[in-house]
Amino acid sequence: MADLEENPFADATPIKPSYPSDDLSSNESEGLSQIDQVQPSANAFDTQQREKTHFCCEIDRILHAGDFHIAVSNAQKTSDGGGSSYITYSIRLVEYEVRRRYSEFESLRRGLSKLYPTVIIPPIPEKHSIADYATLPSKAKEDLIIEKRKRMLQTFLNRVATHQLLKNEHVFHKFLETGISWNEVLHAPPLSNLPKNILQISPANLPSTNPNALSSQQQISQQPPLPNPSASQQLKNPDTRFIESEMFTNKFANHLSQNMEKTNRRILKRLGDLSNDYAELGATYNTFSLDESEDLATAIEKIGQAVDSCFVATGNLITSVETDFSEPLQEYSQFAQIIKQVLKYRHMKHLQMELTTESLEKQKTALENLERSEQEAKRLEAALKNHGGTEDLNRPRRLSAGDAGQSRDSDDSENRGEFEREHNGINSGGGKQLKKRRSTLFSVLSHTLHGIMDVDPEASRRSSLGKTRESIIQLEEALVTTTKDLKIISSAIQADLDRFQRQKIHDMREMLLAYAKHHVKWCDTNLASWQEAKSEIEKIK
C-alpha cells in the first residue's frame, strides 16, 4: 500500500511507455511456432557407436568395409534441353557410378551440415565468382578450373565417406547410388523435414541423444518453442574451452587466408612468370647456337636445353605444388570458416539456454509479484467485508492502480514470451501469422483497456497468473532441453574438433612433405641438365 501511495502517477500513467515500440514491432512479425517442429533424421539409429551389424544399404556396407576410394572423374558438359548447359561429374565407388552436378554437391553439403550441426562437414570447392567467368579467356584455363574442382570434390566425398558419423548417413549413400534422383532425396525426409532454423531442434544424429529416436522426436514436437538469440549477443557465462577454440579458429582462419594462401600464391605466380621467361631464354640460346659453330655451338645448345628443361620443370613444380599444397591449403582455409559456423551454432545454443534461464527467472519474479498482489487483494477483500462499505469509494481506485501495474508487468513477460514465439514461428504460413498477429494485437489492446478501465481487475489478474504459471512450466521444460542439448552439443563438437585436429596434422604433414619433395624433384631435374651443359662447355677448346 505504501509504495502505491508514493507513486501518485501510477494510476494515471498509460501502460504503453513501459514497453514502447518493442511490443508492437515484435508483435507485427510474430508467427505461429508450433508447425515447424521438425522430425529429426530417422538416421539417428545409424549413429550409434557400436559395431555395425545392420547396414542400411549396400553402399553403407562398402563404406564400412574400409579400403575403398571414391573417384570423381570425367567432367561432362550436359545440356538440360532448355539451352543452358552445366557440368556433371562422374562419381565412382566400386561398381556404383553416378553423375552429379555441382549444385547437387552443394545441396548435399548443405543438407549434411543441417543434419549434423556439430560436425565439421568438409568443404566443397568454392563457386566460380562472376569475375572468374569474366576473366576466363581460354578453354585451357576453364579445363584447369574443372580439373581442380574434380580433385576437390573427390576429396570432399572421401572425407565424408571416412567420417565416423557421416559415413552412416543414408542421404550420403543415396548421393553415391546409381540411378537415384537427387531431387527426390532432397524432397523426402529427413532433408525435407529440416527447418530453416536448426536452432529450433535438438541435434539428432548424435551418439548420446536418446537411443529411442522416435520417442524423443515426439517429445520435441511437443516441446515449447525455444528462444532465438541474435548472433551478436554475448554469453554471460561463456565456456572457456570454447572461447579458446573460437579465438584459435579466428586466428587460424585469418592466418591461412590472409597470409599463407597469399604468400604461397605469390610464389606460384612468380614461378609461372619465371617459367615463361625461361622458355624465351631457352629459345634465344637455341638461336644463338645456330649462329655459332663447333664446340661453342654445341655448348650453347646444351645451355639452351638446360634452360628449356628448367622451363618444363618449373611448370611441373607449379602444377604439383598447386595440387598437393595450394588446394589443401585452400581447403583448410574453408575448414576454418566451417569450424566458425559449428562454433557459432554452439554459441547460439548456449545463448538459447541462457535466455531461457533468464526468461524463467523473470517469469518467476512476475509470478511472485502476481501472487503477492493476489494475497493483498484477498486480504483487502477480507478487510472490506469486515469494515463494511466505508472505504468503498477508494478501493477500486487503489486496486486499479496496483492492478494496472501488475498487468503491465504480466504483459511484459507475456509479450516477451510472444516475442520469442514469434521468432520461432517466422517460417510458418503468412496467413496464419497475420491472423495470430491480429489476435495478439487485439489481446494487448484489450488488456490495456481492461487495465485502464478496470473492467474486471480480478479476472485479468487471475488470467495473467495462470498464463505466467503455464509459461514457467514451458520454460522449465525448455531449460531442461537446452541444457541437455548444450551438453551433448559441446561434447560432440569437442570430439569432432579433436578428430579434425588429428586429421589436420596428418594432412599438413602430407602437404609439407609434398612441397619438399616437389622442390627436390625440381632441383634434381635441373641439376642433371645443367651438369650436362657444363660437361659440354668443358669440351670447348
Partner 1 sequence: MSSSYHEDEYNSVSWDTPATDILQSRSFLNESDDIADDTEQSTYANTNTDSMYTSFTAPAPSLAKHTSPLTTTTAAYPMTITVTDPLNELDGTRDTFVSYLITTDTTLETFEKPTVSVRRRFQDFVLLYNTLTRDFPACVVPPLPDKHRLEYITGDRFSAEFKERRRASLQRLLNRLARHPTLQRSEYFRIFLESREWNAESLYRQKRISEGVFDNLGDVLMNAFVKIKKPDGRFIEIKENIDKLEENLQTIERLYQRIVKRQSDLEADYEDFGNSVVGLSQLETGISDHLNKFANVLSKFSVALRHLRVGEEQDYLHQIRDFLSYCHCVKNVLKLRDQKQVDFEDLSDHLQQATTEREVLINTGKGGTGIGSFLRETVDNIKGVDAEKAKQERLVKLESRINELSREVDSSHDESNGFSEEVVKEYEIFSQSKADEMKEYLLAYTDSHVEFFKEGKEMWESLIPILESIRVHV
Q: Is 297 in the site for partner 1 (CB under 8 A)?
A: no
| Contact by Cβ (8 Å): 409, 362 | no
Alpha carbons within 13 angstroms on the beta-carbon side of residue 451 total 25
Q: Is 199 in the site for partner 1 (CB under 8 A)?
A: no
When the beta carbons of 189 and 315 are compared against partner 1, the nearer one is 315
Q: Is 299 in the site for partner 1 (CB under 8 A)?
A: yes
Query: Which cell is 104 given?
Result: 547437387
23 vs 17, 269, 336, 440, CA distance in Å? 10, 58, 39, 10
Minimal distance, residue 181 CB to partner 1, in Å? 35
Name the strands in the sheet holding 96-101, side by side, starting at the edge strand that comes first in the sequence. Answer: 71-79, 85-93, 96-101
| Contact by Cβ (8 Å): 46, 130 | no
Q: Is 68 in the site for partner 1 (CB under 8 A)?
A: no
Question: What is the spatial distance between Cα 17 and Cα 85, in angstroms, rounded to a whole number?
Answer: 59
What is the dihedral angle through the alpha carbons of 255, 259, 264, 267, rounded to the nearest 10 degrees? -170
Minimal distance, residue 496 CB to partner 1, in Å? 13
When the beta carbons of 16 and 255 are compared against partner 1, the nearer one is 255
Minimal distance, residue 242 CB to partner 1, in Å? 17
Q: Is 517 in the site for partner 1 (CB under 8 A)?
A: yes
Minimal distance, residue 270 CB to partner 1, in Å? 5
Of 83-91, 139-147, 279-287, 400-408, the window that binds partner 1 (rule: CB under 8 A) is 279-287
Question: What is the spatial distance between Cα 328 and Cα 466, in angstroms, rounded to a whole number?
Answer: 59
Q: Is 67 in the site for partner 1 (CB under 8 A)?
A: no
Q: Is 455 in the site for partner 1 (CB under 8 A)?
A: no
- Binds partner 1 by CB under 8 A, chosen from 239, 277, 327, 458: 277
Minimal distance, residue 238 CB to partner 1, in Å? 21
When the beta carbons of 289 and 468 are compared against partner 1, the nearer one is 289
Kindly tell me the sign of the dihedral angle through the C-alpha atoms of 79, 82, 85, 91. negative
Q: Is 267 in the site for partner 1 (CB under 8 A)?
A: yes
Q: Is 538 in the site for partner 1 (CB under 8 A)?
A: yes
When the beta carbons of 269 and 438 are compared against partner 1, the nearer one is 269
Non-local (6+) Cβ contacts of 53 within 8 A are none
357 vs 19, 231, 266, 361, 490, CA distance in Å? 21, 18, 52, 6, 18
Of 22-30, 128-136, 429-437, 496-504, the window that binds partner 1 (rule: CB under 8 A) is 496-504
| Residue count, binding to partner 1 (CB under 8 A) | 58
Q: Is 198 in the site for partner 1 (CB under 8 A)?
A: no
Q: Is 287 in the site for partner 1 (CB under 8 A)?
A: yes
SS3 224: coil
Binding mask 218-257 for partner 1 (x = CB under 8 A): ------------------------------x--xx--x--
Residue corresponding to grid cell 574442382: 149
Question: What is the spatial distance between Cα 393 and Cα 454, in angstroms, rounded to a whole number?
Answer: 14
Q: Is 296 in the site for partner 1 (CB under 8 A)?
A: yes
Non-local (6+) Cβ contacts of 78 within 8 A are 85, 86, 87, 88, 99, 101
SS3 94: coil
Of 98-106, 165-173, 368-376, 498-506, the window that binds partner 1 (rule: CB under 8 A) is 498-506
Kindly tell me the sign of the dihedral angle through the C-alpha atoms of 379, 383, 385, 388. negative
Q: Is 508 in the site for partner 1 (CB under 8 A)?
A: yes
What is the binding site for partner 1 (CB under 8 A)?
A: 248, 251-252, 255, 259-260, 263-264, 266-267, 270-271, 273-274, 277-278, 280-281, 284-285, 287-288, 291-292, 295-296, 299-300, 303, 306, 501-506, 508-509, 512-513, 515-517, 519-520, 522-524, 526-527, 530-531, 533-534, 537-538, 540-541
